[in-house]
Structure 1
Amino acid sequence: MTDLIPLTGPGPTPTGPGPGRRPARKTLRVVVAAGLALALAAGVGYAAELGPFAPDGPPRPDAEATRQARAFLTAWEAGRMARAAALTSRPEQAERVLNSFTAGLDISGQKLTPGAVTAGEDGTVRMAFTAKMPVTELGTWTYASTVPLRRQEDGAWKVEWALSLVHPKLSGTQKFRLEREDGAAPEVDDRDGTALSSEKYPSLGPLLPQIAGRSGAGPRGAVRLVDRATGEVKATEATFGTKSARPAGRPVATTLDATWQAAAEKALVTGADGKDAALVALRIDDGEILAVANSPAAGFNRAVSGTYAPGSTWKIVTTGALLLKDAVAPGDVVDCPKYLTVGKRFQNVETSEHRGATFEKDFTASCNTAFIGLRDKVGDEELGEVAGKYFGVGQKWDVGIPSYDGSVPAPRDQTEKAASMIGQGRVQANPLIMASVTATAVSGTFHQPTLTGGAKDTTTTVPLPRDVVTQLRTLLRATVTDGTASVLADLPGEVGAKTGTAEVSEDTANNGWFVAHRGNVAVACVVEKGVTGGASAGPVVRDLLGAVPGDPS
């Protein structure tokens, strides 16, 4: 999504040929965004704070039910069980079960992500959702379920309460039981042998037991499905930790850097303004993770396991796909109109436009309509193929702790393809993924991120061509010197960056994104409900890089 910062003035002058760049072209190719006349005549766009595209026609019949389902999941996620239960058909039972489920399984900081909505022939509406349930000191239990809704006699929609809503296997005859295996957690050290503790580095509190458990020296446990009457175990739903012959008393080594970790924690506390946020910093040349920070520090690990639309930071991958095909060059004219309709009307911040802009200007100003206008230059599945083949996104990563490794599904229609070009639709990522994307873009080679250093590389990728890398570096640098990432302009060195703003829903403020690279470090930050990337996540990254001026050892 375009970043919600008004931009005026001429675009940057295209740079001349550098090492590995194509020779400058004698003529400019003009790429005109299709459908402009139709876009100017039809539809009403969202207000700037609501996102880059607007639905055509009246609300869907299930829109009210969808809002009710989202409200239920939001209240449950926030731990407001009474509020969530009040939205159901059986409030008293719902509140009791929701409380006993989280307390009995020692769950805190749950993350509930809404999914597809379907309408049944019987009049019910169902919203799929993904549940990520952090079990204290063990790890995250992930599963999928569904929120059913039915219209009541008074015409209002309510969540139709059922035990299976909480988990598909929860019923009147079966429940879950948490079993822990006692064991003293070992010391966990950073890359230089400095001891790491949750007291000094709060964001590491939920991670240290996972790291220790992965080494075979930490706490272990399991979530069992049991018969309510007899207690007989019917199935094991999740296991945490592994057994090993690791010598007792030996610290567990990590790739973390105590200096970067402390600076990342402080930057989030100072810059996130109390909002939910996450940050990852990693080494560009080998993918070793230097810092993982979350706000709030306890609970769900948004930085590594979160699932977010990456917004305009994804334009790094989109640009890579276009450059790989020689479909566009930084100096080419790619018009940036106010609107563009592809099933829905897409727009830029405050309906801004940059007539006659070069592609470099479109990138640095984060123009949605220009990127969407280039959608026919890539195949329907090509964006996902490039993301996986060159950037490792969507492959299975072995990070050292549970992680979400991204998803770029083939678009179901042209509207979704248009959204995917700007990091919306069904494209999913998190700060770990976007820090890795940034590192790959500026080095040309994907390195599987790792927290433990000895993790097995389970990916298969190929390097980006050097001329593509050179152009990506130039664009990222220009975004700092002449674009939406100017918050970093006063930092020394060749700093490059990209801002992003990602729509969440009609009634929720946008998430703010910011990615950057300097020296041998790549950083990515997301601030939930940050509204804009430059104003919310940008200062966090600025504080981090300002606090640690040099590269890690």
Structure 2
Amino acid sequence: MGKRGRAAERSRTRPAVIGGLIAVVVAGGGFGAYSLYGPAGDDGSTSADQKPVKTGPLSAAEVRTAATTFLTSWQRGRVAKAAAVTDDAAAAEAALTGYREDAHITGVTLTPGRRAGTAVPFSVKATVTYKGKSKPLAYDTKLTVVRRAEDGVPLVDWRPSVVHPDLREGDRLVTGESGTPPVKALDAAGGVLTEAAYPSLGTVLDGLREKYGKKAGGKAGIELRVVRKAAAKGADKTPDKTLVALSEGTPGTVRTTLSPALQDAAERQVAKKPRASVVVMRPSTGEILAVANSGHGFNTAFQGSLAPGSTMKIITSSLLIDKGLASAEKRHPCPKYVTYGGWKFQNDDKFQIKNGTFKASFAASCNTAFISQAKKLDNGDLTAQAQQVFGLGMDNWSIGVPSFDGAVPVQSAASMAASLIGQGGVRMNPLNMASVVSTAKTGTFHQPYLVSPSVDHRGLAKASRPLSPATRAQLRELLRYTAAAGTAAKAMSGLGPDFGAKTGSAEVDGQEEPNGWFTAWKGDLAAAGVVQAGGHGGDSAGPIVAALLRTGS
């Protein structure tokens, strides 16, 4: 989805501007009297035999010409002409035709904003009409102009988000009777949950509707909605999204486990950091108490798939303790470097701990303390531990809305070693890591859930075995010590003694700063958060998680 620009105001007489190009927008009429630049024909193309093929960066005039032709043609209903000014005419024509015929959107007025390089933001105002019912539609989106390599012609880079920012490849805009009735979602105290009050819950509310709309006994209304590509529903499990309700229908009621106080606090905490996500849950039951993301287009907290960095050492430590390869109070190697599978691994700032315990290595997040044990493990050991004890990676969680259940694939050589410290092929999200620290705290996996299984009598995922009493005791001690005197101590200050925490930093190719992770428990609360490109987890995600544990205590 493109970043929304600031759109120019609609006016009868006030000119709209794309860069230095001026056009008068006439309400209800054509797009305006634009001056077109360059030797563009009716289809926006140039004649190859008139001049050599242009290369290099696009000029401001070329961007203005392509954008103007496309927007003018679209607004005037000349779909084929608008599509011809894109780099995928067939897809563009299908989408713009569907906009009119499937979405029943008419009276389109497009107002450009200020050009930024090759990008032109614009606002859309139109009317949705279906079976005698009408509602206004307004939103902002943008287009980008590119140069076609074979002939140098400037064209609109076609993507579904040009039509609407919520559209992805394969999605459609459709107006009609909704197949799924609306729902009224309640928090644990009986209050109504809305996206206006809790912006992070937009995708959650869409998911609740898709799963419980029919079961809750509501009646469908007439809506303009984004219908997701069928394959995406299976793979990404992204629910359809309602954009405009022409007829509201009658909602059914679904109660969730969300705490209004914690949800409000979570929204405020993630707003302090870009690309931040957090989940709060109750370790003893699995109830999800809060979920929030600072970006509201994708629910990273539930559906993200990110390397968890050193927070993965919670699972790895339980494996090493189970196998007798580590013990909290016993001496354990933490050298500057360890080589395994042809890769040379090191600690942050190349530190080492001489004659230290495993507890000291865990608290300092010593990578080599874990990599050094790789040669004593089988390739599938970590995968089995994650599945059998922590309930991860089996794609069987049923929390009430779409979620990703973590992935710890079987790997070999250097990739297997990297998995021990949360890199390699390991993928998690804050929901997964809140569950991991909850299992470490209680000793038994309780599948997280947002809607009680008593509502629809669904089964929850189970783990094959709990942590042994000895492993659980040592794992809790490792986490307590890290919260009291290790890398998590600053964030967790004042929250003890019944607490534990682990920090993490996960390197990402092409990203200057690593993703910062933090997961912790306090009493019967657990939380996990990630700040993408946030740097060290104790400094980025740590304050978010700790603040929520304080709020709920």
Instruction: Please give the secondary structure, in 2, of the residue aligned with 1:194.
Output: coil
- Paired amino acid for 1:409: P
Alignment of 1:63-212 (within 5 A): 92-93=86-87, 177-179=172-174, 181-182=177-178, 185-212=182-209
- 1:532 aligns to what? 536
> Deviations along 1:421-442, whole A, 9 cap, x unmatched?
1000000110000000110111
- 2:33 aligns to what? none
Residues 1:276 and 2:280 are matched in the alignment: no
After TM superposition, give the deviation of residue 224 of structure 1 in Å: 7.9
- Paired amino acid for 1:295: S
After TM superposition, give the deviation of residue 463 of structure 1 in Å: 1.1
After TM superposition, give the deviation of residue 492 of structure 1 in Å: 4.3
* 1:255 maps to which of 254, 257, 265: 257
| Inter-partner Cα distance in structure 2 for 1:294 and 1:305 | 11
- Paired amino acid for 1:474: E
Residues 1:353 and 2:352 are matched in the alignment: yes
- 2:472 aligns to what? 469
After TM superposition, give the deviation of residue 289 of structure 1 in Å: 0.5
Alignment of 1:459-538 (within 5 A): 459-486=462-489, 487-538=491-542
- Contact 2:445–2:463 (CA<8 Å) still a contact in 1? no
After TM superposition, give the deviation of residue 547 of structure 1 in Å: 2.7
> Deviations along 1:129-167, whole A, 9 cap, x unmatched?
xxxxxxxxxxxxxxxxxxxxxxx99xxxxxxx999xxxx
> Deviations along 1:260-301, whole A, 9 cap, x unmatched?
11111111123x2xx2111001110111100010111x2100
Seen in structure 2, the aligned counterparts of structure 1 residues 197 and 374 have a Cα distance that, compared at 3 Å, is same
Instruction: Please give the secondary structure, in 1, of the residue aligned with 2:271.
Output: helix
| Inter-partner Cα distance in structure 1 for 2:228 and 2:469 | 51
| Inter-partner Cα distance in structure 1 for 2:315 and 2:251 | 44
After TM superposition, give the deviation of residue 249 of structure 1 in Å: 5.0
- Contact 1:222–1:236 (CA<8 Å) still a contact in 2? no
Seen in structure 2, the aligned counterparts of structure 1 residues 100 and 524 have a Cα distance that, compared at 3 Å, is farther
The runs of at least 4 aligned residues of structure 1 exceeding 4 Å deviation read 94-106, 217-226, 235-241, 247-250
- 1:399 aligns to what? 399
- 2:383 aligns to what? 384
- Contact 2:276–2:531 (CA<8 Å) still a contact in 1? yes
Instruction: Please give the secondary structure, in 2, of the residue aligned with 1:333.
Output: coil
> Deviations along 1:50-76, whole A, 9 cap, x unmatched?
xxxxxxxxxxxxxxxxxxxxxxxxxxx
* 1:323 maps to which of 321, 324, 340: 321
Structure label with greater radius of gyration: 2
- Contact 2:433–2:528 (CA<8 Å) still a contact in 1? yes
Instruction: Please give the secondary structure, in 2, of the residue aligned with 1:435.
Output: helix
Tell which has more relative contact order, 1 or 2 (C-alpha 8 A, sep 6+): 1
After TM superposition, give the deviation of residue 333 of structure 1 in Å: 1.5
- Contact 2:213–2:251 (CA<8 Å) still a contact in 1? no
- 1:32 aligns to what? none
| Inter-partner Cα distance in structure 2 for 1:99 and 1:305 | 32
After TM superposition, give the deviation of residue 177 of structure 1 in Å: 3.5
> Deviations along 1:302-334, whole A, 9 cap, x unmatched?
000000001000000000111111221112212
| Inter-partner Cα distance in structure 2 for 1:175 and 1:422 | 37
- 2:338 aligns to what? 340
TM-score, length basis structure 1 = 0.63
After TM superposition, give the deviation of residue 216 of structure 1 in Å: 2.1
Seen in structure 2, the aligned counterparts of structure 1 residues 239 and 496 have a Cα distance that, compared at 3 Å, is closer
- Paired amino acid for 1:328: A
After TM superposition, give the deviation of residue 491 of structure 1 in Å: 2.1
| Inter-partner Cα distance in structure 2 for 1:526 and 1:236 | 25
Seen in structure 2, the aligned counterparts of structure 1 residues 187 and 177 have a Cα distance that, compared at 3 Å, is closer
| Inter-partner Cα distance in structure 2 for 1:480 and 1:99 | 58
Instruction: Please give the secondary structure, in 2, of the residue aligned with 1:536.
Output: coil
- 5+ residue gaps, structure 1, are 1-81, 83-89, 107-151, 154-160, 164-173, 227-234, 242-246
Instruction: Please give the secondary structure, in 2, of the residue aligned with 1:328.
Output: coil
- Contact 2:181–2:251 (CA<8 Å) still a contact in 1? no
Seen in structure 2, the aligned counterparts of structure 1 residues 372 and 193 have a Cα distance that, compared at 3 Å, is same
| Inter-partner Cα distance in structure 1 for 2:376 and 2:188 | 44
After TM superposition, give the deviation of residue 99 of structure 1 in Å: 12
| Inter-partner Cα distance in structure 2 for 1:538 and 1:99 | 48
- Contact 2:304–2:404 (CA<8 Å) still a contact in 1? yes
- 1:545 aligns to what? 549
CA RMSD of aligned residues (A): 3.6
| Inter-partner Cα distance in structure 2 for 1:236 and 1:515 | 29
After TM superposition, give the deviation of residue 186 of structure 1 in Å: 2.8
| Inter-partner Cα distance in structure 2 for 1:239 and 1:315 | 30
Could you tell which deviates more after superposition, 459-468 or 351-360? 459-468
Residues 1:410 and 2:407 are matched in the alignment: no
Give the count of matched residue pairs. 384
| Inter-partner Cα distance in structure 2 for 1:475 and 1:100 | 58
Residues 1:216 and 2:252 are matched in the alignment: no
- Contact 1:263–1:548 (CA<8 Å) still a contact in 2? no
- 1:266 aligns to what? 268
- Contact 2:183–2:208 (CA<8 Å) still a contact in 1? no
> Deviations along 1:386-422, whole A, 9 cap, x unmatched?
10001000121111111111111111x3110110110
After TM superposition, give the deviation of residue 175 of structure 1 in Å: 6.8
- Contact 1:224–1:236 (CA<8 Å) still a contact in 2? no
Seen in structure 2, the aligned counterparts of structure 1 residues 391 and 236 have a Cα distance that, compared at 3 Å, is closer
After TM superposition, give the deviation of residue 239 of structure 1 in Å: 8.9
- 2:107 aligns to what? none
| Inter-partner Cα distance in structure 1 for 2:317 and 2:485 | 18
- 5+ residue gaps, structure 2, are 1-66, 68-83, 104-148, 151-156, 160-168, 241-248
TM-score, length basis structure 2 = 0.63
Seen in structure 2, the aligned counterparts of structure 1 residues 199 and 223 have a Cα distance that, compared at 3 Å, is closer
- Paired amino acid for 1:93: D
Instruction: Please give the secondary structure, in 2, of the residue aligned with 1:534.
Output: coil
- Contact 1:503–1:510 (CA<8 Å) still a contact in 2? yes
Instruction: Please give the secondary structure, in 2, of the residue aligned with 1:419.
Output: helix
Seen in structure 2, the aligned counterparts of structure 1 residues 414 and 442 have a Cα distance that, compared at 3 Å, is same
* 1:456 maps to which of 451, 459, 471: 459
Seen in structure 2, the aligned counterparts of structure 1 residues 255 and 506 have a Cα distance that, compared at 3 Å, is same
| Inter-partner Cα distance in structure 2 for 1:222 and 1:92 | 22
| Inter-partner Cα distance in structure 1 for 2:466 and 2:265 | 32
| Inter-partner Cα distance in structure 2 for 1:303 and 1:225 | 22
- Paired amino acid for 2:487: T
- Contact 1:509–1:529 (CA<8 Å) still a contact in 2? yes
Instruction: Please give the secondary structure, in 2, of the residue aligned with 1:535.
Output: coil
After TM superposition, give the deviation of residue 354 of structure 1 in Å: 1.1
| Inter-partner Cα distance in structure 2 for 1:366 and 1:225 | 42
